[in-house]
């Protein structure tokens, strides 16, 4: 069975600067497409920098992203981080639980390897 992780989207400096440069430009696109994984989780799951993984959310919504190791201690094991944007928002569901706000942080997702990075 696939392991469940908690996905935390958030702001980053590159994502913030990238918005002003333009959403179709490389800086923004690169910023919102990198999934940070705790180094301990990467070792345990045999994952390497640049591997392509598929995230699946609670209603079966999926995205595919490349992973990068989170900076030491920034992310505890079991958590995934990605900059806010198109990819992170695709993992939200349409339900706002009567609040107007979809659950946009702390989403439960499974992660599976799709393609190893080209060495």
Partner 1 sequence: MTSGSTQAHAPTPSIPGELKIIQDATCTFCGCVCDDIELTVKDDHIIEAKRACILGKSWFLNHSVEDRPSCTIDGNPASLEQGYDRAAQILTHGKYPIVYGLSDSPCEAQRVAVSIVDWISGTIDTTTSVCHGPSGMAFQGVGEVTCSLGEVANRGDMIMFWGSNPAESHPRHFTKYSLMPKGMFLPNGRKDRTCVIVDVRRTKSAKAADIFIQIKPKKDFEALWTLRALAKGIELDPELVLRETGVEFSVWSDLMDRMKACKFGVIFFGMGLTMTRGKHVNSEALLALTRDMNAHTRFVAKPNRGHGNVTGADNVVSWRTGYPFGVNHARGYPRFNPGEYTTSDTLANREADCAMMIACDPMANFSQPAREHLATIPYIALDTKETPTTRSAAVAFAVATYGINTGGTVYRMDDVPIPLRPAFASPHPSDYDVLTAIEVRVKKILGIT
The residues that touch partner 1, with contacts defined as CB under 8 A, are 6, 8, 10-13, 16-17, 20-24, 61, 73-76, 78-79, 81, 84-86, 89-90, 92-106
What residues does 115 pair with on adjacent strands?
52
Cβ contacts of residue 16 below 8 Å, gap of 6+? Answer: none
User: What DSSP string runs through 61-83?
Assistant: -EEEEEEEEPPTTTS-TTEEEEE
Please identify, using beta-carbon distances, which residue of 10 and 26 lies nearer to partner 1: 10
Give me the residue label for tokens 């695709």: 90
Min separation Cβ 94 and partner 1, Å: 3
CB of 23 to partner 1, least distance (A): 5
Q: How far is the CB of 42 from partner 1 (least distance, A)?
A: 16
Q: Give the β-pairing of 107-115 and 52-56.
A: antiparallel
């Amino acid at each position: 069975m696939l392991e469940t992780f908690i996905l935390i989207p958030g702001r980053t400096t590159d994502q913030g600067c990238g918005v002003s440069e333009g959403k179709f430009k490389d800086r923004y696109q690169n910023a919102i497409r990198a999934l940070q994984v705790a180094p301990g989780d990467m070792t345990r799951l045999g994952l390497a920098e640049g591997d392509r993984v598929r995230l699946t959310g609670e209603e079966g919504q999926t995205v595919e992203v490349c992973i990068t190791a989170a900076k030491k201690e920034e992310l505890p094991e079991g958590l995934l981080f990605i900059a806010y944007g198109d990819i992170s928002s695709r993992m939200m569901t349409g339900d706002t639980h009567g609040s107007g706000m979809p659950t946009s942080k702390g989403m439960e997702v499974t992660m599976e390897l799709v393609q190893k990075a080209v060495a």
